[in-house]
A and B are shown apart, each in its own frame.
Chain A
Amino acid sequence: MSTIIDLLKSLLSLSLGDFIRRTFGTSPGIELLIDIGGVVILSTFCLLIVIFLIWLERKLIARMQDRIGPNRVGGRYGALQTVADVVKLLSKEIIHPSGADWISYNAAPILTVIAALLVWAVMPFAPGVIGVDLNIGVFYVMAISSASVMVLLLAGWGSNNKYALLGAFRAVAQMVSYEVPMILALLVPVILARTMSTDGIIAAQSIPFLLFAPVSALIFYISSLAETGRTPFDLLEAESEIVAGFHIEYGGMKFGMFFLAEFVNTLFWSGMFATLYLGGYRFFGLENWVSADGYPYGRMIGLIVFFIKTFSVYFVYVWIRGTLPRVRVDQILNYNWKFLVPLSLVLIFFVALIDKLIPAGTGPAARMSIHLALNLLLAFLTLEVLRRRGRQFRESLSGGDGPGGREALFPDDDHGHGSDAHEAPAHDDHGDMPLGSREPIAVPIH
């Protein structure tokens, strides 16, 4: 009887591992079982919460677009709509496109979910509730998440479909590009916390890092939008241009796996943003509360706080999806290489220098103020540069040839504006090279 009460209290305080160790003793076999149990619980949670996430996103988007959204299956809020969709996907016929590369076509949906699940191993849900607190946590996340790029190429290449291949190329170019500002933005919390462990970064945030480095947080957020391929950057599956991108030939549950991985990834990056910049599960020390009989009930508070923060970030993802239109592929890449990467390089340049110049004994509030002032100065300068560029651009537009001004609107089509003008000879050097002269592939659209 006392064991059952112990079990219930352990469940409520999220310390089931401690309960197993108390009851069955500690041995390598028991530790192995605890680890296996942790993996199964974590993965099942990630897969099942997607059912809720899809419903939530459909409802939120519907409300933003002045619609009702799902409202038939499972009561007036359509709560079981996604369950019905899953059942439908399960009963679909699996069609194997002719000429597809069997291995890469079938491996891609499996691998994409594996990559989406593995990153959760270092996500700190509450104090002590973490798959494993790796000392290279942030680096591990970057390593695993970049594997998903290869999976997309596998899917697009293996499908034997030109749209899928185009989508995969776009996906690789976009994801690979946006990984650079993301890595550079991630360096800022690592420098501020002096550790790569995700739990350690939370421990260092007596003041959330959002207040230390808002510019870094913004860069990270924008890059994570691109990494998950969500709306302003959902070019890889632009349904109006390349039908559905890399997963056009997939149906049934294989398509479902791509869909699932996308939602799991989005929730993961929301959680990562909450962990790195919003203080994760921290809630004024309440998360470390341990009751008199030794059960860490504070973990439950930490878990709730973590999910409130995560879903707030997730809501902004959905909000952006409901607000912004899709951007062109050259705009996506220009925005990354000519704006985000230089900005994050300058940011990391100054953060690395300033944080060393601050005397060691400085309190967190004073340190925060210095970093915040630096970030705001940088943001102001960036906006000033953008404003000047914008003015130049508008002047070139009004000084151009009549009402059309097409080359001003589409500067990349031919000779453009501002700094692009002196780059034109560089293009001509490559005139006889296949750089820009060849059509990408024999596809009627591009």
Chain B
Amino acid sequence: MLADWQYIAIFVALSPIFPLAPVVLNRLLGPHRPNPVKQQTYECGIETVGDTWIQFKIQYYIYALVFVVFDIEAVFLFPIAAAYGQLDLFAIAATVLFIFLLADGLIYAWSRGVLEWV
């Protein structure tokens, strides 16, 4: 069981080498003559105005909230699905009820207009 994760641990430890190698090679092979104009951020050919890191559209936040609900639900549903063969009909009925409650949440969010792109 733990030996399975040895492979993952080795993979995590070694995997940075594969993307780092070409990037470092690029740094060694490519020229490096920076100047202020070259380093300007690209924006339609005119100079950028104001700060980039300011308020963002709140809509994204609401989608993220709805997503979190469904993502947590996955944590519950995957073990149930894996143990499906050992569960009796009552447990499955309870799971189905759980899914129904989730769907109810989606319908509520929908009817409140949360899912409208504004």
Identify the A interface with B (CB < 8 A): 31-32, 35-36, 38-40, 43-44, 47, 89-99, 109-110, 112-114, 117-118, 121, 131-136, 138-140, 142, 146, 157, 159-163, 165, 169, 172-173, 176-177, 179-180, 183-184, 187, 190-191, 194-196, 243, 248-249, 252-254, 256-257, 260, 329-330, 333-334, 337-338, 341-342, 345-346, 348-349, 352-353, 355-357, 412, 420, 422-423, 426-427, 434-436, 438, 440-442, 444
- Chain B min CB distance to A175 (Å): 10
Q: In chain A, what residue has the closest Cβ to B67?
A: A176
Q: Least Cβ distance of B88 to chain A in Å?
A: 8
Are A187 and B78 CB-contacts (below 8 A) given A98-B40, A121-B11, A165-B56?
yes
| Set of chain B residues within 8 Å of A39, measured between Cβ atoms | 7, 10-11, 14-15
Contact B71 A441 (CB under 8 A): no
CB distance A165 to B6 under 8 Å? no
Name the residue in B64, B71, B74, B89 with the highest tally of chain A Cβ atoms < 10 Å from its Cβ: B74
Are A92 and B30 also in contact (CB < 8 A) when A110-B23, A423-B113, A427-B118 are?
yes
Nearest B residue to A444 via CB reads B44
Q: Which chain A residues border B32 with CB–CB below 8 Å?
A: 93-94
Chain A residues whose CB sits within 8 angstroms of the CB of B112 once the complex forms: 423, 426
- In the complex with contacts A162-B48, A345-B103, A356-B92, A91-B30 CB distance below 8 A: yes
Are A89 and B41 closer than 8 Å at their CB atoms? no
Q: Would you give the shortest CB distance from B58 to chain A, in whole angstroms? A: 6
* Contact count band on B: 35 or more
Contact pick for B41, options A47, A159, A187, A195, CB 8 Å: A159
Taking the closest CB of chain A, its distance from the CB of B73, in whole angstroms, is 8
Q: Could you tell me if A337 and B66 are in contact, using CB atoms closer than 8 angstroms?
A: yes
**B57 near A35: Cβ-Cβ < 8 Å:** no
On whether the beta carbons of B117 and A412 are closer than 8 Å, the reply is yes
Residues of A close to B56: CB separation below 8 A: 165, 169, 440-441
Kindly list chain B residues whose C-beta atoms are within 8 Å of the C-beta of A334. 115, 117
6 closest residue pairs by CB, A with B: A330-B117, A436-B118, A440-B57, A253-B26, A113-B19, A426-B113
| Interface pair A35/B6, CB less than 8 Å apart | yes
Bound-state CA distance A140–B103 (Å) is 25
Q: By the criterion CB–CB under 8 Å, are B92 and A110 in contact?
A: no
Minimum CB–CB distance for A425 against chain B, Å: 9
- A110–B63 contact, CB under 8 A? no
20 A-B residue pairs with Cβ-Cβ distance under 8 Å, sorted by A, are A35-B6, A35-B10, A39-B11, A91-B29, A91-B30, A97-B40, A98-B36, A99-B41, A110-B16, A118-B15, A190-B82, A190-B84, A337-B63, A345-B106, A352-B81, A356-B84, A356-B89, A420-B116, A436-B59, A442-B50
- Contact indicator A165/B52 (Cβ below 8 Å): yes
Report the Cα distance A435→B42, complex, angstroms: 30
Closest residue of B by beta carbon distance from A138? B78
Chain B residue numbers with a CB within 8 Å of A442 are 49-50, 54
Which of B1, B19, B56, B66 has the most chain A CB atoms inside 10 A of its CB?
B19
Bound Cα distance A140, B78 (Å): 11
**Alpha-carbon distance between A132 and B106 when the two chains are bound, in angstroms:** 37
List residues of chain B with CB within 8 A of the CB of A114. Answer: 12, 15-16, 19
- The answer to whether A118 and B74 have CB atoms under 8 Å apart is no
**Measured between C-beta atoms, what is the minimum distance from A134 to chain B in Å?**
6
CA distance A110 to B21 in the complex (A): 10
B64–chain A nearest beta-carbon distance, Å: 6
A252-B30 contact given A98-B39, A427-B113, CB 8 Å threshold: yes
Residue pair A352, B43 in contact (C-beta under 8 Å):
no
Once bound together, how far apart are the Cα atoms of A260 and B23, in whole Å? 12
Measured CA separation A294–B76 after assembly (Å): 43
User: Most chain-B Cβ atoms within 10 A of its Cβ — which of A99, A136, A356, A444?
Assistant: A356
- For A90, the chain B residues whose CB sits under 8 A away are 22, 25-26, 29-30
Interface centre among B60, B81, B100, B117 (most CB of A within 10 A): B81
Given A40-B14, A110-B20, A191-B81, A352–B40 Cβ distance below 8 Å?
Answer: no
Contacts of B96 in A (CB 8 A): 349, 352-353
Query: Measured between C-beta atoms, what is the minimum distance from B39 to chain A in Å?
Result: 4
A38 to B59, CA, bound (A): 44
Partner of A95 from the list B39, B83, B103 (CB cut-off 8 Å) is: B39
B56 to chain A, nearest CB (A): 6
B39 touches A96 (CB 8 A): yes
Q: Which residues of chain A come closer than 8 Å to B16, judged between CB atoms?
A: 110, 114
